Amino acid sequence: MTAASRIIGAILLGVLLALTGVPLGAKAADGETLVNVKARGVLRCGVSENIAGFSSQDAAGRWTGIDVDFCRALAAAALGDANKAEFVPLKASARFPALQTRRIDVLSRNTTWTLLREGALKVQFAGVLFYDSEAFMVPDKDRQQSLASLKGATVCVQKDTSTLDHLLAYSTANGLNIKPLVMDSATESGRAFFSGRCAAYTADSSYLNALRLRAPGGAAAFSILPERISKEPLGPVVRGGDDPWLTLVRWVLLTLIAAEEIGVTRDNLQARMRDPAVEQALVPDDVVTRAIGVEPGWTLRALQSAGNYGEMFDRNVGAHSPLRLERGINSLWTHGGLMYAPPVR
């Protein structure tokens, strides 16, 4: 690890701990989260403020996106009703404090899985919902440039994100002397970039693609450079110490992936359940269900709510969405991607 990397890690750790305002050992008790969710009758899910395809509200106030669909699937599994999910929009700086202070039950908000976050904040990532990478957006007139041409340039970036850390580390390692313009929120970062205060805007590639859809002058006025400088595995996060809740959140996600692996969709689920092999792949043992604390059929309720992972991807960010993102590494492992579900039994 370089001196710059150690400094960046120390700064981020200090910021994260200051933001939480809670002791390092403040963890959930075993089974506490599901008990509270059931007593309340609502699953509180932390999401991003407005990222098309991931979590955004339409004119009628209804939330949509892949992170939102996952939360509804989790609500269906835990409470028997996908509509019992409540969405709490959070800035990056507020997401971990909201989780630690129990304002939310699960964080499903374009959040990168890192050792620093798990180790310092005592949170746990349940898996990867979307594999992303850090990219750079520039005005279309500059689309032929490379990251090397940003030497000495000002780049817009959101504070309290791993994006900022990667930008600083990349700049130092490559002698670019990039000057970050650090803004409090993604909205402010986008506003600063579009007003010409920065030569580029760096964020997750998926977010930049979503931002282009509502860019001044239209998407064609801006380009995303081909270089990527980091791995950004994004997934749901829970408080540490509550193993049954972690297991439930993790296996709701894995169920959606497993269903795609064997070709089970929301529409054909009931018919396919006549196949013993499908039941073997998607229905856990009753002992597991009782240990987690949910009602039987929880995996099927989750699948009926969201469809399989491929359906969820295509509907929100893929071929059937305005973003039209390629599956890429978010494809199943059988199709050259990284999505893979361990066996249920």
pLDDT in tens, 181-237: 999 988 899 999 999 999 999 999 999 999 998 899 898 999 999 999 999 999 999
Q: Could you tell me if 156 and 276 lie in one domain?
A: no
Q: Could you tell me if 122 and 185 lie in one domain?
A: no
Q: 279: domain range?
A: 14-129+235-335
Q: Could you tell me if 125 and 246 lie in one domain?
A: yes
**What pLDDT is stored for residue 50 in this prediction?**
87
Q: Could you tell me if 118 and 39 lie in one domain?
A: yes
pTM greater than 0.85 (yes/no): yes
Residue 35 sits in a domain whose CATH number is: 3.40.190.10
**What pLDDT is stored for residue 18 in this prediction?**
43
Q: Could you tell me if 221 and 252 lie in one domain?
A: no
Q: Does any domain span residue 90?
A: yes
pLDDT digit string, tens, across residues 318-338: 999 999 999 999 999 999 999
Q: Could you tell me if 241 and 282 lie in one domain?
A: yes
**What pLDDT is stored for residue 26 in this prediction?**
53
Listing DSSP states for 91-126 in one string gives -HHHHHHHHHTTS-SEE-SS-B--HHHHHHH-EEE-
Q: Could you tell me if 123 and 265 lie in one domain?
A: yes
**What pLDDT is stored for residue 24 in this prediction?**
44
Contact yes or no for 58/100 (Cβ under 8 A): no
Q: Is the dihedral of CA 156, 157, 158, 159 positive or negative?
A: negative
270: left (phi over 0), alpha (psi -120 to 50) or beta: alpha
Of 211, 231, 251, the residue that ends a domain is: 231
Of 198, 231, 264, the residue that ends a domain is: 231
Of 191, 207, 231, the residue that ends a domain is: 231
Q: What distance lies between CA 53 and its chain's CA centroid?
A: 11
Q: Does any domain span residue 344?
A: no
Q: What distance lies between CA 244 and its chain's CA centroid?
A: 21
How far apart CA 90 and CA 69 sit, in angstroms, is 17
Q: Does any domain span residue 343?
A: no
Q: Does any domain span residue 172?
A: yes
Q: Does any domain span residue 179?
A: yes
- Helix (H, G, I), strand (E, B), or coil: what is residue 131? strand
Q: Does any domain span residue 342?
A: no
Residues 6+ apart with CB under 8 A from 14: none
Q: Could you tell me if 125 and 137 lie in one domain?
A: no
Q: Could you tell me if 226 and 265 lie in one domain?
A: no
Q: Does any domain span residue 281?
A: yes
Q: Does any domain span residue 2?
A: no
Q: Could you tell me if 110 and 240 lie in one domain?
A: yes
Residues 6+ apart with CB under 8 A from 301: 76, 77, 80, 82
Reported as half-sphere exposure (CB side, CA atoms, 13 A), residue 119 has a value of 7
Q: Could you tell me if 50 and 62 lie in one domain?
A: yes
Number of DSSP helices (H) and strands (E) in the chain, helices first: 14, 13
Q: Could you tell me if 42 and 165 lie in one domain?
A: no
pLDDT at 81 over 90: yes
Number of structural domains found in the chain: 2
Query: Which has the closest alpha carbon to 134: 210, 207, 78, 184?
Result: 207
